[in-house]
Structure 1
Amino acid sequence: MADPGGGAWLAYDSLAVPDQTTSGLTRYRPVGEVRDGVTHDPIPGFGLTCHVDVLLVRGGEFHRPAAGGPIAESAAACYPRVAVDGQGVLWLAHRTMRQLPFGDYLAHVAVRAHVGADWSPPRLLPASDGTCSELSLRPAEQGVTVLYHGDGHAERHLAMLRGHMRPDAYATGEEALRREHLRLPSTERMAAGGHVGEGLVTVSTLRSDHPARPTELVAVVSQERGHEPVELAVGPRDHRPVGWPPNGDGAARQLFWGDLHRHSNVSRCGAGLDIGTDDHYRFADDLLGCDFWALTDHAENTSELNWHHLKKLANAFYRPGAHASLVGFEWTSFLYGHYNVIYAGDDGPIFSSVEAETDNPSKLWERLEPHEALTIPHHPAAWVYPTDWSYRHDRFLRLVEVFQACTGSYESDWCHRQYQDALAPGASVQDALAAGQRLGFIGSTDHGNGAAYVGVYSEKLDRASIVRALSERRCFAATRRGIVPELRVGGASMGEEVTLAEGEIPPLVFGAVGVSELSVVQLVRDGEVVASSQRAPSGRARLWVPLDLQLRSHDGGPRDMTGQLSIVGDATVVPTEWCQPEVTSIHATSVMWSTALPERYGKRYRPPGVVNIGVTIEGSAKALVTVEAGGVALRATLAELNAGCTSDARAEGCEIRARLGVGGLTGMGTTSWLVQADPGILRAGSWYYVRVIQVDGEAAWSSPVWVD
C-alpha cells in the first residue's frame, strides 16, 4: 500500500510452530533430558501466538509505527492487510481467532486504526465470524472499506448448544453425558450446526473516532546475527528403494514418502495449532521432505469457497515427478468415526457427515461411486469418537491410519506409543483386522504437534500412481521418514493376499531398516507376536525381564497417574538411552513418572485413559518389584513377573497391569535386520504384519499379508 509521504506500507504476520520435525506427543526423549518432578501433559498448551506487524519501506529504510512492537494474536487466520486513508490515518485489518465452548474455533475480522502513538482497540466486524478466507481492505477519504466473507459459525454453534445440551445433562452421569454428546442429531459438535455452506459476503465501512494525526514512526535497526540451524526431518532426497522393496511381481517401483492427513486453519478445530493453507504446502516440501501430501480439512467446517481454494492450491502445487499434492477432505462423524477422503484426480465434491445424504459411511461411499477415491479412517479406537467397523467397502475402504503424530498409536490396547484415549472396545486396528477388514497401514499427522509418514512403493510420483499404490496396500506406516519394515510370504509382499496350495509352505521373511539403532523387530500374527528379534543377553545367570506396565484409569477415574516402580533386593533397572515422555526419574532401583490424564467437555467428563511404561529389570528371582500409581499398588517378585502371566492390581476407578513385553528399549547393535522365520508359523486364515521399534522409540508398521 503506497504511503502519501512516499514509500510503501507492508503488513505481515509471523508464527513459530514448535516440534514439527518430531513424531509428536508420544515421542521418546533422551534419558539425559529427564528431570525430576516434571509433569507430562498429554495435551500441551493449546494455541500458537501469531505476531501481526506493519512496516513502512521508504528510501531503503524500514520504519514501524510507534506502537510498542507487533500485535500478538491468538493464531494466524489469513494474511493481514494495511491501508492509509485520505486523512493519513493508518489502518490494519486481519482475522483473529476466538474459541467457542467445547473447543471449536472461528475467525472474526478485526480492524484497528493507528492513532498517534498506538493502535486502537480492535473492532470485530459484523457477520465476519466463520472461515479463514482472505479479506480486502480499501482506503477511503475518511476511513476504510472492508470486503469479507462470513458463514454464521458462532450463531449456529451456540444454537446447537442451546437446543441439544439439556441443562441437566451433566447431572445424569459421565457415561450419560458422553452419550448425550454423541446423540446430537445433524448438529454434531464439530459441525456446529451443519455444513457451513456458502455464507455471506459483506462490505463494511469504518471511520476513525479520533482526529487524524500523523503516524509516529520509529526506525527499525537491522541487527546482523546468525540463525540457529533448523533440524530438518530428512536429509537429501533419495527415492531409491531402501531395504527390500516389495517387487515380487517384477515391477520396478520406488519408495516415496508422504502425509495424507493434515489440517490447516480452515478446519478451525485444532486449538490454534494449525497454520495456513499456503504455508502447509511449502512446509511439507521444504522441511518434511514429503513426496506427496494431502490437506484434509473438515468438510463440516469447510465452506464452498474454502473447498474451491483448497482444490486450487492442491493443483497449483502439483508437480508430477517432483511432488504429488492430492485433493482431499475429512468426513468427520462422531457416530461412525473420522475418515479422510483422498481423490486420485484434480477435482471432486466435498461431502459432510451432517448432511442427510452422507450422514453414514455407506451413504458417503454411494456418493463417491463415480469417483476414484479412498476413504481412510483414523484414530479408530478414540474413546469419544470410535470407528464403527461394521461398515465395509472393498473399493473405498482399503487403509487405516495406525499412527498419527497428533496423538499416538491406535494399533491395539497396550501397544507401543498408545495414545491415552485409545480404549474404545472393539475399535482398534487389530480389532478391525480380527473382524475381517482387510486394511493396509499408513501413518500421518492430523493437527499440529509433529509429523508422521506413509511410505508407498509406486511406479511413478504422480497422483494416479500414488493412489493406485495405496489402493493396492503397497505401503506402511512410520513415525519417521526412513524406517522401512519388510515382510514377504513367498513372492507376496505387504498388502497382498496369499492363497496356499495344499501342503505348500512358502518362505516367510521379515525384517527392517532403521535410521538409527534398532531395538526390536516383531512378526505379528492375528494380534500376537509369533517371532521376534528380541533375545535376553546370553551367558547371564540372573533373570532378564522386559516389562510393559499399563496404568489404567476407568470411566470417571483419577486423572493423576503419577507413580513409580521400585525394587527391593538383588535387581536393577537395565539402563537405556531413551525413555517415555512421562518418565521423570530413572535410577538403578527405581523409575518415576508423572502425568495427568485429560478431562473433556469443560472438565466435566473424565473418560478412560492409559499410561504405558516400559522397563527391563535384571536380577535375582526373589527381588521384589512394587508399582504404585493412582492409589493402587502392585507387588510381585521378579520370578513371578518372569513367569509370563499378566499381573494386575485394582482399586475403584483405577488398575495397574504388568506383562512381559518389549520393556526398556535396549539396542540390537545394528540398523538393519532380516531373517527367514520358521515356516511353521504360517497358517491359513491368518494375517501377518511387521512392527519395528528403534532405541529412540521411533517405529514403523508394515501393511499386513493375508494367508488364505
Structure 2
Amino acid sequence: MDRRDFLKASGWSLLGLAASGSLLSCVGGKSNDRKLPEELKRNFESLKDMKVFWGDIHNHCNVTYGHGDLEDALAAAREQLDFCAVTPHALWPDIPGENDPRLNWVIGYHTEAFKRLRAGGWDKYVRKTREANDPGKFLSFTSYECHSMEHGDHVALCYDYDTPLLECTSVPDLKEKLRKYKVFVTPHHMGYQTGFRGYEWKAFTDDDPQLPFVEMFSRHGLAEGDMGDYDYLHDMGPRVWEGSVLYGLEQGHKFGLMCSTDQHAGYPGSYGDGRIGVLAESLDRDKLWDAMSKRHVCGITGDKIKIDFRINGAMMGDVIKAGKREIYLNVEAQNFIDYVDLIKNGRCVARLNGPFLAQNPEGDVVRAKIKIDFGWNREEEYVHWQGRLKLSEGEIRDVQTCFRGAAFTSPQPGEHRFKTRVNRLLDRSAQHVELDMYSSKNPNVMTPAQQGVVLDVEMPRRATITADFNGQQISYTLDELLQGAKAHFMRGWLSEAIQFNRAAPESAFAIGTYMEDSDAERDTDYYYVRVRQRDGQWAWATPIWVERA
C-alpha cells in the first residue's frame, strides 16, 4: 500500500506534497493545481508576522550544585538563544535517606546546596540574572527547581525578578503558594517511575495557568512514550509508560510540548540537549509570556527546526471545534529530513519521508544548508578554534550555531575549579562567519562533544567554502559538498579535525503538504507533529485539539 492509499484508508486526503525553502509557499504542491482554500489563505496571512524564539528554561550551574559560573552560563546563552533561565536546585520536601543507609549521602549533598542558596546565593543570583536582561535582544528569567519523589521534579519559572524563593511541604503546596505570582511550574524528566521522581499525572489539572506545558526531553532522555530514541540511562532508573507524554494525552489532558537541556555544566541551550521554541510576535517579555501561557510552544533537541502546523487556521496549542479538518503542514529543517509524522490520537496517520540521498538540484546557483563541525580531539586538553568560514561567491542567508557545553556532570581530573569555555560567533556578513570555539575530546563513541555551525547559503556550484582556522585553510566547492561529506585532520591522523557535512539542498531540508480529515474519532481529537532529521536531531510541535462540531 503506497502513502496515498494508506491515507485514503485512514480517512485522509493528501492534496499535495512539495519541497520549498519558504514556510508558506509549498501548500498544494508543485505537481497539481489544487489551491489552498481562501479562508485558510487569510488565516495564514494573519500569522505571517509570528516568529519562533528559542530558549532554555531549565539548566544548572554552580549556584547550588552544578559547574561553571552564572556569568559564563548567561554569556553562553546569549550566543545562541533568545531567552533563558538558569535554574538553582532549591527544594526537596520528601527527600529520601533517613531510613536507608544507602541514601544518606543524598540528604547531605542536597541540603548543603540548598543552604548555600539561602545564605545570600539567591539574592546574588537574582541580581545577576536581572543585569543580563536586554529587552528586544535577550530576555532573562529567574527559576528554581523542586524535587519530589511523590509528584516528580518541577521547575518554577518566574516572570518577575522579585518572585520569592518559597518553602513548601510538597509540589502541590508550592504551586498553591505561588498562585499570587506569575509563575509556570513545569514537570521534567517525566518518564521515571511514579513515586521515584517520575511525573504523577493524577495531579495534572487542565487549564491550569501554572502548567501550560511539560518538558518531554532533556539530557535525561525522551518521555514522548516508553519506546524510541533517547532512552533513560541515568541511575534514577528506566522510563515507563505512565509518566510519558502520550500517556497524558491519552488521559485527555491538554498541555504544550517543550524541551530543556537540564545541563549541569553551566551551558544553557547546549546543542543536542533540548530547547524550547515559542511562537510570538516579538521578543517582548509580555508577548513571550502570553504565547507560552497559550501553549504556542514546540520542543527541539538541538537544531532550530521550524514547524508551521495549522488546522483550519488554528496553531499549535489551540483548541477548536470542527467537522472537516483542513491541515496545513510545512517544515524547514537544518539538515536532511528523515521523516515527518502526523500523530492523531496516539497513532501515526501520515508520514512524509525525506530523500535518502537528495537528487542533484537543478541550476547553477543553489540554496543549501551546510553544517561544519570542529572537534575529534584525542588529548584531554581543549582545542581552541579561532578563525572564519568564508564564501568565494554567493550569500550566507542565515547562521545557526551548534555550541555544546561540557558533556560531564563532575569536574574533570586536573581541574580544581571548572571553567565554562564560552563559544562565540564574533562576526558575520553575507560572505563570512568569524568563530571562537573550544572543543573537547568525545567522552565515548556515543557522545559527541564537537562544536559547529550550520550555514544557510545561496551560491554558485563552483564557488568555494573555506575554513580558515588555526593557521590552516581548507576549501571545498558547493558542488563537491553536494556529493558528500569531507574531513580534514589539522595535525595528521589522531588529531583534531574539521568535517564539512554533506550539503542539504532545499529538497532535503524542507517539506510541506495540505491534507483534509473528516473523521472525528473522539469528542476531542488531538493532532501533533514530530520531525526527525537524518543526523538524529528532533523537533515536536504542541498538539492542536479538535472538538467534535
TM-score bracket relative to the smaller structure:
0.5 to 0.7
2:327 is matched with which residue? 508
* Match for residue 460 of structure 1 among 282, 292, 295: 282
2:247 is matched with which residue? 431
1:460 and 1:528 map into 2 onto residues whose CA distance is 34
**Contact kept in structure 2, 1:518 and 1:668, CA below 8 Å:** no
**Contact kept in structure 1, 2:146 and 2:171, CA below 8 Å:** no
* Match for residue 479 of structure 1 among 301, 308, 314: 301
Q: Deviations over 1:418-471 (max 9, x none)?
A: 334452341111111212221101111002474421111112213222221111
2:243 and 2:74 map into 1 onto residues whose CA distance is 32
1:689 is matched with which residue? 528
Q: Equivalent residue of 1:284, what SS?
A: helix
**Contact kept in structure 2, 1:256 and 1:455, CA below 8 Å:** yes
1:290 is matched with which residue? 81
1:701 is matched with which residue? 540
**1:525 partnered with 2:344:** yes
2:221 is matched with which residue? 408
1:156 is matched with which residue? none
**1:368 partnered with 2:182:** no
**1:386 partnered with 2:198:** yes
**Contact kept in structure 2, 1:517 and 1:695, CA below 8 Å:** yes
Measured after TM superposition, the shift of residue 249 of structure 1 is 8.9
Measured after TM superposition, the shift of residue 511 of structure 1 is 3.5
**Contact kept in structure 2, 1:326 and 1:463, CA below 8 Å:** no
* Match for residue 377 of structure 1 among 187, 195, 220: 187
1:83 is matched with which residue? none
1:676 is matched with which residue? 514
Q: Deviations over 1:353-406 (max 9, x none)?
A: xx33xx132x222111111111111110123310111113411111011111x2
Counterparts of 1:593-672 in structure 2, within 5 Å, are 670-672=508-510
**Contact kept in structure 1, 2:23 and 2:332, CA below 8 Å:** yes
Distance 1:520 1:249, change over 3 A: same
Measured after TM superposition, the shift of residue 295 of structure 1 is 1.0
2:200 and 2:130 map into 1 onto residues whose CA distance is 33
Distance 1:255 1:458, change over 3 A: same
**Contact kept in structure 2, 1:345 and 1:463, CA below 8 Å:** no
Measured after TM superposition, the shift of residue 514 of structure 1 is 0.4
**1:250 partnered with 2:46:** yes
Distance 1:312 1:535, change over 3 A: closer
2:355 and 2:78 map into 1 onto residues whose CA distance is 42
Bigger relative contact order, structure 1 or 2, given CA contacts below 8 A and separation 6+?
Answer: 2
Measured after TM superposition, the shift of residue 527 of structure 1 is 1.8
Report which of the two has the higher share of helix.
Answer: 2
**Contact kept in structure 1, 2:319 and 2:544, CA below 8 Å:** yes
Say which one has the larger Rg: 1
2:519 and 2:348 map into 1 onto residues whose CA distance is 11
Measured after TM superposition, the shift of residue 334 of structure 1 is 1.9
User: Taking structure 1 as the reference length, what is the TM-score of the superposition?
Assistant: 0.43
Distance 1:535 1:695, change over 3 A: closer
Letter in structure 2 aligned against 1:455: G
2:310 is matched with which residue? 488
Counterparts of 1:114-153 in structure 2, within 5 Å, are none
Distance 1:434 1:667, change over 3 A: farther
Distance 1:667 1:364, change over 3 A: farther
Measured after TM superposition, the shift of residue 291 of structure 1 is 0.5
Measured after TM superposition, the shift of residue 278 of structure 1 is 1.1
Measured after TM superposition, the shift of residue 296 of structure 1 is 1.4
Q: Deviations over 1:569-611 (max 9, x none)?
A: xxxxxxxxxxxxxxxxxxxxxxxxxxxxxxxxxxxxxxxxxxx
Measured after TM superposition, the shift of residue 339 of structure 1 is 1.1
How many residue pairs get aligned? The number is 326
**1:308 partnered with 2:123:** yes
Q: Percent identity?
A: 26
Distance 1:532 1:365, change over 3 A: same
Counterparts of 1:143-292 in structure 2, within 5 Å, are 243=23, 250=46, 252-268=49-65, 270=66, 274-286=67-79, 289-292=80-83
Distance 1:308 1:244, change over 3 A: farther
Letter in structure 1 aligned against 2:214: V
1:398 is matched with which residue? 212
1:425 and 1:530 map into 2 onto residues whose CA distance is 21
Distance 1:692 1:425, change over 3 A: closer
Measured after TM superposition, the shift of residue 678 of structure 1 is 4.1
- Structure 1 vs Structure 2 CA RMSD: 2.8
Distance 1:481 1:266, change over 3 A: same
2:231 and 2:345 map into 1 onto residues whose CA distance is 19
Letter in structure 2 aligned against 1:402: M
Range with bigger deviation, 328-337 or 688-697: 328-337
**1:447 partnered with 2:285:** no
Unaligned runs of 5+ in 1: 1-240, 538-611, 613-665
Counterparts of 1:28-107 in structure 2, within 5 Å, are none
Letter in structure 1 aligned against 2:190: P
Distance 1:536 1:276, change over 3 A: closer
Measured after TM superposition, the shift of residue 244 of structure 1 is 5.1
Q: Equivalent residue of 2:222, what SS?
A: coil
2:87 and 2:354 map into 1 onto residues whose CA distance is 42
**Contact kept in structure 2, 1:242 and 1:484, CA below 8 Å:** no
1:341 and 1:244 map into 2 onto residues whose CA distance is 36
Distance 1:463 1:448, change over 3 A: same
Measured after TM superposition, the shift of residue 534 of structure 1 is 3.6
2:505 and 2:82 map into 1 onto residues whose CA distance is 31
User: Taking structure 2 as the reference length, what is the TM-score of the superposition?
Assistant: 0.55
Measured after TM superposition, the shift of residue 348 of structure 1 is 0.3
1:498 and 1:515 map into 2 onto residues whose CA distance is 31
